[in-house]
Amino acid sequence: MDIENIRKIAKVLNSRDNFLITAHVNPEGDSIGSQLALYHILKRIGKNVMIVNQDPVPNNLKFLPGADIISRNIPEGIEDTIVIMLDCPVRERTGKVNRALNEDQFVVNIDHHVSNEFFGDLNWVNKDASSAGEMIYHLSCEMKIGIDKPLAMNIYAAIVTDTGMFNYDNTSSETHMIAGELLKAGVPAGSMYNNLYEQRSPEEIIMLGKVLSTLTLVPGEDIAYMVLTKDMCGEERGASIPTDGFINFARSVKGVEVAVFFREGEEDIKKINVSFRSSEKVNVNQIASRFGGGGHAKAAGCVLLTGLEQAKREILEAVRKAMNEADR
Ligand SMILES: [Mn+2]
């Protein structure tokens, strides 16, 4: 039950003093927003709290209140620190942060991924929540922490980005109700949009153009895929250009049921990052899980170490099979 888990977590937050908050590698709006929201809650009740992430805060999230305190260094002497992992289906998703923890570290797992493995000492997993940020909103209500503007902005960023600006099916009436409360608390919707989405570099738009030109429709036209090879990235800056939203263009093609995006690794060309988006019928979390990845029913990812051509063969065959099963 949600409420029991919220209460258990609230009790730990109220009774203990030292906290380390972390989330998954390659952070995006929900991981940064939910971490910062929880940070503000703990600060408001006078706790020692730090946020440690393997990877840096993306440029479009640096405006969020508190973002400058996010560190990439794990301090010594954290034996008595409660570690809270947000937005992670498995603890390995926190990367080098997980590897630096002690064997018996107390871990609180707060997440909304269907694939969550309940890896914590305390687990609160709500697959119906739009975002980890939405869960932190409920936590703040349970803890009777009034929603001030910094808290509201971070939760809003988490919700807006994880729901694709309230467009995905994880958007519930409750999500909108919470967003309404956040606006009441002073969230500036227009400038949030500008900060979150209109910070693209010219290189990103040029890269998008190159990726779009690889769009391929598989015969039958209900699978679309795109690729980004190392060659297309050019000499420098390739790895730092965010490509998260590119796949949505492939899914937006009329009749496309599943879109797949293959990206060659910067350092290891055999390493292929695969992202999936599904429109309705196919659960891409199940496909990604078969390849050691995971995510949500309509958005998931995995990594193959096979090189591009074999990855394309294996993945597209798995998608086709899943599609046939869904049609039955
Ligand atoms: Mn999330």
Q: Do residues 325 and 290 touch, judged by C-beta distance below 8 A?
A: no
* % the chain with pLDDT above 70: 98
Q: In this model, does residue 236 exceed pLDDT 60?
A: no
Q: In this model, does residue 243 exceed pLDDT 90?
A: no
Q: State the distance from the centre of ligand 1 to the C-alpha of 234, rounded, in angstroms.
A: 31
Average pLDDT score over the chain: 94
**CB neighbours of 254 closer than 8 A, spacing ≥ 6?**
none
The residue with greater pLDDT, 327 or 318, is: 318
Q: State the distance from the centre of ligand 1 to the C-alpha of 31, rounded, in angstroms.
A: 6
- 41-93, pLDDT tens digit by residue? 999 999 999 999 999 999 899 999 999 999 999 888 898 999 999 999 999 99
**Strands of the sheet with 18-23, listed across from one edge:** 48-51, 18-23, 82-86, 107-111, 122-125
Q: In this model, does residue 188 exceed pLDDT 60?
A: yes
Q: State the distance from the centre of ligand 1 to the C-alpha of 16, rounded, in angstroms.
A: 26
Q: State the distance from the centre of ligand 1 to the C-alpha of 277, rounded, in angstroms.
A: 15
Q: In this model, does residue 240 exceed pLDDT 90?
A: no
By the CB criterion, residues less than 5 angstroms from ion ligand 1 are 30, 87, 131, 162
pLDDT at position 239, please?
63
Q: In this model, does residue 197 exceed pLDDT 70?
A: yes
Q: In this model, does residue 302 exceed pLDDT 90?
A: yes
Report d(CA 119, CA 1) in Å as an integer: 17
Q: State the distance from the centre of ligand 1 to the C-alpha of 69, rounded, in angstroms.
A: 21
CATH fold of 2-197 reads: inorganic pyrophosphatase (n-terminal core) (3.90.1640)
- 100-157, pLDDT tens digit by residue? 999 899 999 999 998 899 999 999 999 999 999 999 999 999 999 999 999 999 999 9
pLDDT at position 266, please?
82
**CB neighbours of 32 closer than 8 A, spacing ≥ 6?**
23, 57, 58, 61, 64, 67, 70, 154, 157, 158
> Which of left, alpha, beta for 165 (phi over 0: left; psi -120 to 50: alpha)?
left
Q: At what angle do helices 149-162 and 189-197 cross, to 10 degrees?
A: 50
Q: Which residues of 165-186 are buried (b: 16+ CB within 10 A; e: fewer)?
A: eeeeebbeeebeebbebbeebe
Confidence tier at 238 by pLDDT (50, 70, 90):
low
Domain ranges of the chain: 2-197, 202-327
Q: In this model, does residue 158 exceed pLDDT 60?
A: yes
Q: In this model, does residue 1 exceed pLDDT 70?
A: no
Report d(CA 226, CA 239) in Å as an integer: 17
pLDDT at position 264, please?
93
Q: In this model, does residue 180 exceed pLDDT 90?
A: yes
Report d(CA 312, CA 159) in Å as an integer: 32
Report d(CA 21, CA 130) in Å as an integer: 20
pLDDT at position 242, please?
79
Q: State the distance from the centre of ligand 1 to the C-alpha of 301, rounded, in angstroms.
A: 13
**Strands of the sheet with 294-295, listed across from one edge:** 216-218, 223-228, 258-264, 272-278, 299-304, 294-295
For 202-327, CATH gives: 3.10.310.30
Q: In this model, does residue 241 exceed pLDDT 60?
A: yes
Model confidence, pTM? 0.83
Q: How many CB atoms are located within 10 Å of the residue 50 CB?
A: 19
Q: Would strands 299-304 and 272-278 be described as parallel, antiparallel, or unpaired?
A: antiparallel
In the predicted model, what is the mean pLDDT of residues 160-185? 95
Q: State the distance from the centre of ligand 1 to the C-alpha of 161, rounded, in angstroms.
A: 9
Confidence tier at 256 by pLDDT (50, 70, 90):
very high
In the predicted model, what is the mean pLDDT of residues 201-216? 94
- DSSP result, 175-190: HHHHHHHHHHTT--HH
In the predicted model, what is the mean pLDDT of residues 296-322? 95
**CB neighbours of 109 closer than 8 A, spacing ≥ 6?**
85, 88, 91, 116, 118, 119, 120, 122, 123, 124, 125
Range in 51-65, 165-179, 224-238 the model is least confident about: 224-238
Q: State the distance from the centre of ligand 1 to the C-alpha of 74, rounded, in angstroms.
A: 23
| Strand intervals (E) in the chain | 18-23, 48-51, 82-86, 107-111, 122-125, 216-218, 223-228, 258-264, 272-278, 294-295, 299-304
